[in-house]
């Protein structure tokens, strides 16, 4: 993998973004986070476009997978990169423009009393989602809670913060989307302190086109808990 050695921002919190073929929006996404003063590492997961160049120009440190390994693997690569550079807190943030950097401080502040803070769109706000998508997402929450033994209001929101000290306990081995279900199981079995924090998720034409459908979220849960 090719690594940009640029390390940006101050403080001990790193925002980790996994991206593939996101050149249309990644510059704006990274700029929003960097303007807020956070250090950002972007893992380009085998893109065939200018994702890495746009992210680097916007202020991110860039790590590149030469082939696509999946979101779970890309996030773990970014987490490892940030921990090696002294991160105390880590935030995972989507590349498609769904998340709002203004929510990061609340997630990080929640770590004063918890080991991991999970963003919840159902405690916060959802913009632009269809009624069908909302119904599928709520169904995924119910199935996730039953399978994981947790009691959460949101199942697969990728907006989360955690202490670097618990990163080894939460290490992801599921390369692709099943990493989110894997993380819930590890939260339950490891005994880390977890809290949910309201966040805003904004669905745009771009994110709806690229994102997983609600049925896929349910299938990922089934595949992980019954086949993994």
Q: How confident is the model over 40-98, as pLDDT tens digits?
A: 999 999 999 999 999 999 999 999 999 999 999 999 999 999 999 999 999 999 999 99
Q: Which pLDDT belongs to residue 159?
A: 97
Helices marked H in the chain — which ranges? 26-35, 51-58, 71-84, 104-109, 131-148, 179-190, 205-210, 214-227
Poorest-pLDDT segment among 133-137, 184-188, 208-212: 208-212
128, 211 contact by CB (below 8 A):
no
Kindly tell me if the per-residue pLDDT of 186 is higher than 50: yes
For residues 203 and 128, is the Cβ–Cβ distance under 8 A? yes
Q: How many residues does the chain have?
A: 228
pLDDT band at 208 (very low <50, low <70, confident <90, very high): low
- Percent with pLDDT over 70 in the chain: 85
| Average of per-residue pLDDT across 109-136 | 93
- Average pLDDT (20-34) is 97
State residue 202's pLDDT score. 93
Q: Which residues are 200's β-sheet partners?
A: 125
Asked if 100 and 71 count as a contact pair (C-beta separation under 8 A), the reply is no
Distance CA(144)–CA(133), nearest Å, equals 16
- Of residues 116 and 133, which shows the higher confidence score? 116
Are 124 and 107 within 8 A, CB to CB? no
Which of 61-75, 83-97, 168-182, 211-225 shows the lowest per-residue confidence on average (mean pLDDT)? 211-225
- The residue ranges of every structural domain in the chain are 2-227
Checking if the pLDDT of 215 tops 90, the result is: no
Q: Yes or no: is domain 2-227 CATH 3.90.550.10? A: yes
């Amino acid at each position: 993998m090719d690594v940009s050695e640029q390390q940006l921002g101050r403080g001990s919190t790193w925002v980790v973004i996994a991206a593939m073929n996101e050149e249309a929006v990644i510059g704006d996404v990274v700029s929003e986070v960097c303007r807020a003063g956070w250090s950002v590492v972007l893992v380009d997961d085998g893109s065939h476009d200018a994702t890495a160049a746009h992210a680097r120009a916007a202020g991110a440190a860039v790590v590149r997978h030469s082939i696509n390994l999946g979101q779970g693997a890309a996030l773990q690569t970014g987490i490892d990169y940030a921990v090696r550079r002294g991160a105390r807190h880590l935030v995972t943030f989507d590349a498609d423009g769904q998340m709002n950097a203004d929510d990061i401080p609340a997630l990080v502040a929640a770590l004063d009393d918890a080991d991991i803070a999970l963003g919840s769109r159902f405690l916060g706000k959802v913009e632009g989602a269809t009624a069908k998508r909302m119904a599928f997402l709520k169904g995924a929450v119910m199935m996730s809670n039953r399978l994981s033994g947790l009691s959460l209001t949101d199942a697969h929101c990728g907006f989360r913060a955690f202490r670097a000290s618990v990163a080894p306990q939460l290490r992801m081995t599921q390369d692709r989307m099943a990493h989110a279900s894997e993380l819930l199981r590890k939260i339950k079995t490891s005994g880390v302190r977890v809290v949910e924090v309201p966040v805003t998720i904004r669905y745009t034409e771009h994110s709806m086109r690229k994102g997983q459908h609600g049925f896929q979220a349910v299938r990922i849960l089934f595949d992980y808990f019954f086949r993994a």
